[in-house]
Amino acid sequence: MKKRNLVLALAMAAMTSAAACGGSSAPAAATTAAAAATTAAAAESKVEETKAADTKTAETKAADAAKSDAKAEASLETPAVLTSIGQSADVDIVKTLCTKAGLTIETNGTLKADDLPADCKTLILAVGGSSKGLGAAGIDADGELARTKALLEKAKSQGTKVLAMHTGGSARRGTLSDSFIKPAFEAADVAIVVSEGDSDGLMKGIIDGNGAQGVYVEKITDVLTSLQGLFGVSK
């Protein structure tokens, strides 16, 4: 701001000097000085706007990080059951992460509502669609969605919390996966998302909309720490 005021003052002085000198060159000099002042003021304003935007971005990132860390605090319990929603290979990855996090879980990739244990405290969903996986499981997309709906209704009716996990990144997005993401995340009490897979904000919008706990991580290896925090596992 001080620089802009100085530029304007110098420009005004130049205009005054040009006018005092008189002659045919005075109007041109005054016009040139005014143009220079306007350009300098605009440039200075742009710099200040950029600085303000950078500051706001940094503050927003810091706030999001703090919010994510806070939401990684213990809120889930075992016994826990892991299933696939979409029949992608991500269920195996999530199973490995749970094991490394020190969690003892039951895994059933095609778990049906009637098979959800009454004492299950947390239902873990590995969300991501795979046409190949669906074929291997002998089920189509509509059948998988029907299984998902019934399973989530059963979990809600018996007070089982739902942890939705999307760990496949952008490679596990698209029409098929998105059709499973919507119901899974809408029913979630807690969600873990590898941020790179949610560049369009689909999952964040659902999480914020239903008031779920959202934990966003940069790398899939960070999921392990998040799981330990959510289940209160000693590190």
**Does residue 21 sit in the same domain as residue 117?**
no
Specify whether the CB–CB gap between 19 and 26 falls below 8 A: yes
CA angle, 80 as apex, 205 and 146 as ends, to 5°?
A: 55
**Does residue 116 sit in the same domain as residue 61?**
no
Domain assignment of residue 26, given as a range: 2-71
Give the integer Cα–Cα distance in Å for 184 and 206.
10
pLDDT in tens, the chain (235 residues): 544 454 444 445 444 444 444 444 444 444 544 554 455 455 555 545 545 555 444 444 444 444 444 446 778 999 999 999 999 999 999 999 999 999 999 999 999 999 999 999 999 999 999 999 999 999 999 999 999 999 999 999 999 999 999 999 999 999 999 999 999 999 999 999 999 999 999 999 999 999 999 999 999 999 999 999 999 987 6
Q: What is the pTM of this model?
A: 0.71
Which of the listed residues 37, 71, 105 is the one where a domain comes to its end?
71
**Does residue 26 sit in the same domain as residue 100?**
no
Which distant-in-sequence residues (6+ apart) come within 8 Å of 92 by Cβ?
A: none
Residue 184 confidence (pLDDT): 98
> In degrees rounded to 5, what are phi and psi of residue 42?
-65, -40
**Does residue 66 sit in the same domain as residue 177?**
no
Residue 94 confidence (pLDDT): 97
**Does residue 23 sit in the same domain as residue 139?**
no
Residue 57 confidence (pLDDT): 46
Token pair in block for residue 197: 């897979």
**Does residue 63 sit in the same domain as residue 87?**
no
Residue 15 confidence (pLDDT): 47
Specify whether the CB–CB gap between 72 and 191 falls below 8 A: no
Tell me how many domains the chain contains.
Answer: 2
Which of the listed residues 71, 103, 130 is the one where a domain comes to its end?
71
